[in-house]
Chain A
Amino acid sequence: MKKSFVRTFVVTVLGIGALTLTACDVKAKEYVAGEKVKIGLITLHDSQSTYDKNFIDAMSVAAKNLGARIDGDPIIKTGINEDQSCFNAARDLVKQGCNVIFADSFGHEEYMLKAAKKWPQVQFCHATGTQALTAKQSNYHNAFASIYEGRFLAGYAAGLKLQKMVEANSLKESNYDANGNIKLGYVGAFPYAEVVSGFTSWYLGVKEVVSNVVMDVTFTKSWYDFNAEEAGARALINGGAALVSQHADSMGAPGECEKQGVPNVTYNVETKDACPNTYVAYSRINWAPYYEAVVNAMFDGKAIAGENNNNYTGTIATGSVEYNVADAEDLAKVKLIEAELKAGTRKVFDCSKFTVGGKNLTSYTADVEDMGDFAPESEAIKTENGITFFDESAKRSAPYFDIIIDGITKLN
């Protein structure tokens, strides 16, 4: 009796073991240059969110441009949360034969990296991430764009608008602070480098035109919270902001500005039709050039053009940063500034144009490596063409300008 029990038990265990051996895990398809590339994309929400819509639309544009180089339509998985389901989505894409997989949200990174280690034959390209620099995984890439240049230009356009408002005497007493500076407002999501870099570059853009400006920043602690963003904008406007911009994914702030008649600069979405009275300018990242660069590199068997340490930073020149201005005259003026940025004769984070604690920066160590220790280790200030500036996104594609400069006040 005991014997037969032992026998059945052993047989069952062996059976399961055999099943494990014979059953194989997902094997990734080897890719050889010149074959059609199969693309996969993982997004956090679906097209309902302006942030993800940006990526999804860019993928359609890129797919059209790549034409015969890609295998069928890109497989897009939307609504993938920042947990194990990202890894499962990547698995399924690898199973379906994808050669390159893109993802769009910061929280996807760990799972994309895990997948990259498991399937070295597939390229994993994660936007907004920071670990490609230190992970040293050849098939894992991060990408971003020099959106600070786009925001600077949009800020310049806002400055021109502000100048017109000053000349037309349409500002109220509440728009000025005690020192005679005009107040600006900014609704941010989280108080870390990506957002700080964004609002600082916008502020510097406005400051280029109207030098006596100060800015209040309020944080909603969420990437997408309509009510919080609306309330934040309202609080800033009540506090006297003459111009408002934001770095958050809903229409809360632009909607509130439109209701109150305060000019607004947007991100990712051009609100020309939705907010006709208050739309000034917008900027966004166009991901299509990056997608095309990656696929073309794979197809031609070369390294990704413009990539540095597995980090790709798109620029205005590559078409990755786009902007537009409502007023045509102002647009012409902004285009001149754009030319200067492209030529290198002007830098956004020019250290002579801002102060920290009353002094201009000559040196600053930033936490580029993002190992979770929050310890800065890389020198970020550089001198080029006679200008000393903070070299944003040079060492790593995701921004690392996290300095609160004079003139900017964090409200929470």
Chain B
Amino acid sequence: MNFFDTAVSFLSLAIKFSTVFLFGATGEIINQKSGHLNMGTPGIMYFGALGGVLGERIYIMCTPAEMPLNSVLIVLIPVLFAIIFGAFGGLIFSFFTVTLHCNQNVTGLTLTTLGVGVSCLFISGMPMDRMAEAGLQMQSAFPGYKSLGWFGEIFLSQSWFTYLGIVIAIATAIIISKTKVGLNLRAVGENAAAADSAGINVNAYRYIATIIGGAIAGIGGAFYELDKTKGMFNIADGIDAFGWLALCIVIFSMWKPLIAIFASFGFACLSILPSFVSGNDYITYGLKILPYLATLLVLIITSIINSKKAQAPASLGVTYFREDR
């Protein structure tokens, strides 16, 4: 087997996976910057996938049988639904933690359990008619690459989701670090009581941050589902694994979206490496452990160094209640 060809296909697959991770990680970074340790992100990504499949189904249902399916709408509408469903997931989390003052870990875990179960059930129950046609239309949204050589295959054959993901990550980084809104968000995440006395509406920031974070994570889930099945099949599994690794990436990139772009790529490479490497079991499983070990190491090192720049938001995981002040 040509090593060069293998490397090229490896890289292009890695970039595709890293897109899913990047969406999940960016969404989770926004959540965590506001102080919400949202362990429901895997469930929210699943919700997004469900939204994507539902959106496709609705679009197909609303198009009369004679009209051909539009290749732009066949992707746009699922994404729209994915955003709505992801935002809804974020809304549930923030409702339970901000308004009902529940423990964040508990809410997150329950949300993930429920999200996985509900989404799997509904995605598998989707009717399949006109799926082949939808699949064909969806292919054209993912441009072909054969004619562009190796550069084209790696960099230009990625769907526009990848570019969108990078744009969103950069935008998030800029907003968080350079704008007033970002500053307020960081304040809420570091010390909610102080932010509250400064006049920042803590609850509003937390709600909106979680909703937006959920929407972005939902896009990631939908992208994975649409890309994997090209809209043709109605199977969904393994999306929550992406969610947990996205959480790892958030820690690994020390809550900085720009680092998350590269961390997502690295983790994506690690997670697909076992399929490309032939070797004994120890190598395969060793590669599987690597992302978690790497995250653990970053966690340990940053807490040893105790540098302010690399720490988690101080109020991470703590619910803010004004009367406690």
Residues of A within 8 A of B (CB): 46-48, 174, 218, 220-221, 224, 226-228, 230-232, 234-235, 238-240, 250-251, 255, 259, 273-274, 276, 411-412
Given contacts A227-B275, A232-B275, A411-B278, 15 further A-B contacts (CB under 8 A): A220-B275, A224-B237, A226-B228, A226-B235, A227-B238, A227-B272, A230-B228, A235-B1, A251-B232, A255-B229, A255-B230, A255-B232, A273-B132, A274-B131, A274-B232
Residue among A47, A218, A228, A251 with the highest chain B CB neighbour number at 10 A: A251
- The answer to whether A48 touches B275, judged by C-beta atoms less than 8 angstroms apart, is no
A220: B residues at CB distance < 8 A: 275
- The answer to whether A235 touches B235, judged by C-beta atoms less than 8 angstroms apart, is no
When C-beta atoms are compared, the residue in chain A nearest to B12 turns out to be A234
Residue among A46, A220, A238, A240 with the highest chain B CB neighbour number at 10 A: A238
When C-beta atoms are compared, the residue in chain B nearest to A47 turns out to be B124
Give chain B's interface secondary structure class.
helix
Cross-chain pairs A/B with CB under 8 angstroms, 17 sampled: A47-B124, A48-B124, A48-B235, A221-B284, A227-B275, A228-B274, A230-B228, A231-B13, A232-B275, A235-B6, A235-B276, A238-B5, A239-B2, A240-B1, A255-B230, A255-B232, A412-B278
Residues of B within 8 A of A (CB): 1-2, 5-6, 9, 13, 120, 124, 131-132, 135, 228-230, 232-233, 235, 237-238, 272, 274-276, 278-279, 284
B10 CB to nearest chain A CB (Å):
9
- The answer to whether B132 touches A228, judged by C-beta atoms less than 8 angstroms apart, is no
Q: Given A220-B275, A226-B228, A276-B132, do A238 and B9 touch, yes or no (CB 8 Å)? A: yes
CA distance A367 to B237 in the complex (A): 36
Task: Please list the 10 inter-chain residue pairs (A to B) with the smallest Cβ-Cβ separation, ordered nearest first.
Answer: A231-B275, A412-B278, A239-B1, A48-B124, A238-B5, A228-B275, A273-B132, A274-B232, A251-B233, A411-B278
- The answer to whether A274 touches B132, judged by C-beta atoms less than 8 angstroms apart, is yes
B318 CB to nearest chain A CB (Å):
37
CA distance A226 to B237 in the complex (A): 9
B45 CB to nearest chain A CB (Å):
15
- The answer to whether A234 touches B124, judged by C-beta atoms less than 8 angstroms apart, is no
When C-beta atoms are compared, the residue in chain A nearest to B279 turns out to be A412
B120: A residues at CB distance < 8 A: 48
A231: B residues at CB distance < 8 A: 13, 272, 275-276
A259 CB to nearest chain B CB (Å):
8
CA distance A412 to B282 in the complex (A): 13
CA distance A240 to B9 in the complex (A): 13
A238: B residues at CB distance < 8 A: 1-2, 5-6, 9
- The answer to whether A234 touches B13, judged by C-beta atoms less than 8 angstroms apart, is yes
CA distance A238 to B9 in the complex (A): 8
CA distance A224 to B228 in the complex (A): 14
- The answer to whether A235 touches B230, judged by C-beta atoms less than 8 angstroms apart, is no
B1: A residues at CB distance < 8 A: 235, 238-240
B131: A residues at CB distance < 8 A: 273-274
A255: B residues at CB distance < 8 A: 228-230, 232-233
CA distance A412 to B124 in the complex (A): 32
CA distance A411 to B120 in the complex (A): 33
A59 CB to nearest chain B CB (Å):
18
When C-beta atoms are compared, the residue in chain B nearest to A219 turns out to be B278
A226: B residues at CB distance < 8 A: 228, 235, 237-238
- The answer to whether A251 touches B275, judged by C-beta atoms less than 8 angstroms apart, is no
A234: B residues at CB distance < 8 A: 9, 13
- The answer to whether B275 touches A235, judged by C-beta atoms less than 8 angstroms apart, is yes
- The answer to whether B124 touches A274, judged by C-beta atoms less than 8 angstroms apart, is no
B238: A residues at CB distance < 8 A: 226-227
CA distance A371 to B190 in the complex (A): 62
B228: A residues at CB distance < 8 A: 226, 230, 255
A189 CB to nearest chain B CB (Å):
13
CA distance A255 to B233 in the complex (A): 10
CA distance A238 to B233 in the complex (A): 24
A46: B residues at CB distance < 8 A: 124
B6: A residues at CB distance < 8 A: 235, 238
CA distance A218 to B229 in the complex (A): 22
B275: A residues at CB distance < 8 A: 220, 227-228, 231-232, 235
When C-beta atoms are compared, the residue in chain A nearest to B123 turns out to be A48
A224: B residues at CB distance < 8 A: 237
A412: B residues at CB distance < 8 A: 278-279
Q: Given A47-B124, A239-B1, do A251 and B235 touch, yes or no (CB 8 Å)? A: yes
CA distance A347 to B265 in the complex (A): 51
When C-beta atoms are compared, the residue in chain A nearest to B271 turns out to be A227
CA distance A251 to B238 in the complex (A): 14
CA distance A302 to B228 in the complex (A): 50
B279: A residues at CB distance < 8 A: 412
When C-beta atoms are compared, the residue in chain A nearest to B278 turns out to be A412
When C-beta atoms are compared, the residue in chain B nearest to A48 turns out to be B124
A218: B residues at CB distance < 8 A: 278
CA distance A411 to B229 in the complex (A): 26
CA distance A318 to B235 in the complex (A): 32
B232: A residues at CB distance < 8 A: 251, 255, 274
CA distance A361 to B138 in the complex (A): 51
B271 CB to nearest chain A CB (Å):
8
A192 CB to nearest chain B CB (Å):
14
